[in-house]
Amino acid sequence: MKINTVSNSKDIFTKALTNIMIIFSLFSIILLTNCKSDLDENQASLELYAQAVPLAKESGQKILLIFGADWCGDCVSLRERFRENEQIGKLLLENYLVIHIDVGRFDRNLIFAEKFGSPEKKGIPALAIIDPTQDEKVLATTKGGEFSSARSMSDAAIYEYLKRFTN
């Protein structure tokens, strides 16, 4: 029994370390793309996504794109719950590479969003879940605005939605 616990702890530690390396890599990519003043946001998002695909594939994670904005109360609420709810945080850490895409006032990254069916059209935050091991198959998008009232969603509903797409 102790061996399994140690093994599970080691697996969680390895995934956490991998995620830290992924976040560092993505942060570096963001810094590099922000330095290219002639590169438009859509292209920068496409490049960020392209860099994330092999990282997610290597770590065995799905990609969770969250289309949102800083002014959006529901977006802020969802982001806080991702950080503060231990069960949701662990699910994300173990199963998803999360990328936040800023849609501004529905005037930014729209061409990038089209690649995933423009889930933001019915409200934000909007999610797209991609499986990088299946030729970047889009497993789900919230085209119906399912998370656009995230403030009123229970933590359990958020968890169950995200859990459906894990292995």
Number of folded domains in the chain?
1
Q: Distance between CA 26 and CA 65 in Å, rounded?
A: 13
Q: Distance between CA 74 and CA 122 in Å, rounded?
A: 13
Task: Give tens-digit pLDDT for 60-89.
Answer: 999 999 999 999 999 999 999 999 999 999
Higher-confidence position of 2 and 120: 120
Structure token digits, residue 83: 């950080």
User: Domain of 47?
Assistant: 2-163
Q: Distance between CA 47 and CA 80 in Å, rounded?
A: 26
CB contact at 8 A, 53 and 132:
yes
**pLDDT over 60 at 30, yes or no:** no
What CATH number did the domain enclosing 146 receive? Answer: 3.40.30.10
Q: Distance between CA 84 and CA 7 in Å, rounded?
A: 26
What is the average pLDDT across 37-57?
A: 82
**pLDDT over 90 at 49, yes or no:** yes
What pLDDT, on a 0 to 100 scale, did the predictor assign at position 70? 93
**pLDDT over 50 at 36, yes or no:** no
Alpha helices in 36-154 (DSSP H): 41-59, 73-84, 86-95, 110-114
Task: Give tens-digit pLDDT for 101-149.
Answer: 999 999 889 888 998 988 899 999 999 999 999 999 999 999 899 999 9
Q: In terms of C-beta distances under 8 Å and separation of at least 24 residues, what long-range contacts does 46-49 make, across chains too?
A: 46/112, 46/115, 48/99, 49/99, 49/112
Cis peptide before 54 (omega within 30 of 0): no
Burial of 56 (0-12, 13-18, 19+ CB in 10 A): buried
User: Residue 128 pairs with which residues in a beta bridge?
Assistant: 65, 141
DSSP 8-state symbol, 148: T
